Amino acid sequence: QVQLVESGGGLVQAGGSLRLSCAASGSIFSINAMGWYRQAPGKQRDMVATITNGGSTNYADSVKGRFTISRDNAKNTVYLQMNSLKPEDTAVYYCNAELLPHVLALRPLNYWGQGTQVTVSS
């Protein structure tokens, strides 16, 4: 079984910073990509940032220049450094991993963390 454990969420004032962490553990053969998604109340879950095993990154337009995604492949961990936070960044942030759970896996699968709340006050 694969688990994604998130940490780093909390309450911060507008303009502040937070750093989210997500560690993948369990049966993992290889990880293709990891990323962060968020879902605000009454809204759909949207991509925030992703990073591939080759280091390519992708960001939502709303966070470009403010958020930075990084990874530590040795620890199967992905980070999201969030700076200049805005109230509209308030959401539950979910970690995602696309990975092969076993050497015999035919295709990669997506796994999700439980989510961590980020609240940005005015």
pLDDT value of position 21: 98
pLDDT value of position 20: 98
Mean pLDDT over all residues of the chain? 96
pLDDT value of position 95: 98
Sign of the CA dihedral running 60, 111, 22, 94: positive
d(CA 2, CA 101): 7
Model confidence pLDDT, tens digit, residues 49-89: 999 999 999 999 999 999 999 999 889 999 999 999 999 99
d(CA 109, CA 90): 28
3 pLDDT tier (thresholds 50, 70, 90): very high
| C-alpha distances out from residue 117 to 39, 44, 90, 104, Å | 10, 15, 8, 36
d(CA 75, CA 16): 27
Q: Which amino acid is at 91?
A: A
Does the structure show a pLDDT above 90 at 1? no
